[in-house]
Structure 1
């Protein structure tokens, strides 16, 4: 467990929690309650869990607060069930990557399920019951109703978790988790502004690609997308721009803001994967020609030149340096 911000700093807070170890049980809930109340409870109250959940709470997660926005990433081994806290006038978004998150939508009748690969966003003004299946992975955002309800109204926004707007919002929340401990007042303000603008983009189904505050989220979303398609021969800056619903120029401008280029990022990540492959035991190691083809370099010569320029030695020299010495 890690408290990333001091108690006196009320504009931000963060923690990590892992109660997946055998035998943790109710002690895991006690730890979660204590750190939640300390770090983000003034923005988003801890849900009231069912007795069965408390007795067998096996979750791994992280949460962060940026002013009046709370973000929680929850990977649950056990099933979860309960209701949120009483003070629940917030716009809540669930992005489910694995498993299912089922919730009531008062005053609407019936139960509604967010399945893996989907998201759901709506304004809740009263507690609602929820439950999950075991092994569910979910990102939950609690956003200020005053900033979003004028756009949202009574609508429920649903859709695929890989839509361009959701990709950008998720990428930004991940950057918040990674950097919140180092954010000063200006950083907190910038992170919060981007969170609100990206949440608005989800509601509207489009974002302002000329908004400079969103450039870091756009670049990170493109990197995340590229990382998941490194072996795809169709991977290119144009493909990433198309998937993220922006122009190629807009994507290039977002990368340029941090001194990078889209093509260089793709090439360097492929080189890194090739380097890791060269460290494999010799019996399972691909040849230089095979690596060049697998990572979509024009030919072996182009791959060797790029590898040497980046790492200061040829692939063969690198492979030799990682091989165990013969006795």
Structure 2
């Protein structure tokens, strides 16, 4: 995040998916803040936070220095009594050490960059979650936390019934955590189209996956988990499309499920694992044709995205886009020349 991208509060997404008059409430939105800007004080941040999260997750008291120079961005998704917050900060965040009154929840911290220090007071940071790690804990009343500048993290606020008086820690790349994060991402994208039943189903799956994190294993036969499992596999694959070792079997191993289980998860969405990988590699290769480095041929692009040879790539490309790679390039050049 760059300072110039956050000139005070701005509502980047409208709240969506709210179902009034029922217990199944879903809201989602993004807020950015720079309290140094005129009219963008800490009180405004508090108001925006309440708009997105409701009254059930109050903010702690922050230190005077934090309130005066707070710069950051958060994206919040609320499903009734659960909350997922994606947090990215330019400035340091530090609380005043005053407990949040009346709060008794379970929190999960996943730190991508920087660190998240937690303690009983401003001088007692008893636990630190570093980049690449997570901590799931029954918090009771939130007391104190501190983060350095440039911290990027995801925080889940969950009902206290999930677990009591326990702390679970580990690396952020566990299979259970991958599924939970994939599900949260999918919910955020689709929330605006969910009715009360859909919000409640999304919440139920999120809690089931959080229990899997707490228990360090998930039930790979649970039908509710088919969609998050498929999404987690897609997220893994997206970063590795040019990897010659990327395969359905490899994804299943990394997610600690059988190949058959992963295939069933994709089948429930009307897809196959191999079909998805082929489709994504074709799309990546199509984009690469237009941006390939000077001197790259169609055969080079085909090899980079793991097609057997240029002929195989050309046949697959034509079946998908109704043009050969050569014809597609010619078409795009003509369009740009107009």
Per the TM superposition, whether the score is higher than 0.5 is yes
RMSD: 2.2
2 CA distance for matches of 1:241 and 1:38?
40
Larger mean CA deviation between 55-64 and 97-106 belongs to 97-106
Written as runs of structure 1 = structure 2, the 5 A alignment for 1:106-117 is 110-117=125-132
Given that residues 19 and 26 in structure 2 are in contact (C-alpha distance below 8 angstroms), is that contact kept between their aligned partners in structure 1? no
Matched with 1:305 is 315
Given candidates 45, 57, 79, the residue that maps to 1:44 is: 57
CA contact (8 A) 1:28 1:57 kept: no
- Is the 2:241–2:281 contact (alpha carbons within 8 Å) kept by the matching residues of 1? yes
- The answer for unaligned runs of 5 or more in structure 1 is none
Identify if the C-alpha distance between structure 1 residues 140 and 26 changes in structure 2 by more than 3 Å, giving closer, same or farther: farther
- Counterpart Cα distance in 2 of 1:182 and 1:312: 33
SS at match of 1:246: coil
- Supply the distance in 2 between the matched residues of 1:181 and 1:261 (Cα, whole angstroms): 27
Per-residue deviation, residues 236-261 of structure 1 (Å, max 9, x unmatched)? 00000000000001101111111011
C-alpha displacement at 1:5, in angstroms?
4.4
Given that residues 25 and 58 in structure 1 are in contact (C-alpha distance below 8 angstroms), is that contact kept between their aligned partners in structure 2?
Answer: no
How many residues align? The count is 319
| Structural mapping, 1:1-327, within 5 Å | 1=11, 2-6=14-18, 8=20, 11-19=25-33, 23-24=36-37, 27=40, 29-82=42-95, 85-104=100-119, 110-146=125-161, 148-149=162-163, 153-280=164-291, 284=294, 286-323=296-333
- The question of whether the paired residues in 2 share the 8 Å contact of 1:277 and 1:285 is answered with no
2:91 and 2:192 mapped to 1: Cα distance? Answer: 29
CA distance in 1, matches of 2:296, 2:245: 22
State the Cα deviation string for residues 131-154 of structure 1 (Å, max 9, x = none): 1111111110011012x12xxx43
Quickly say closer, same or farther: Cα 1:137–1:25, change in 2 above 3 A. farther
Which sections of structure 2, spanning at least 5 residues, go unmatched? 1-10
- Shift in Å at residue 42 of structure 1? 2.8
Provide closer, same or farther for how the CA distance between residues 3 and 137 of structure 1 changes in structure 2, counting only shifts above 3 A.
same
> How far apart are the structure 2 equivalents of 1:132 and 1:195?
26
Q: How far is 1:26 from its partner?
A: 6.9
Cα separation, 2, equivalents of 1:183 and 1:70? 16
Cα distance, 1:35–1:110 mapped onto 2, change above 3 Å: closer
Shift of 1:87: 2.8
- TM-score, with normalisation over the residues of structure 2? 0.88
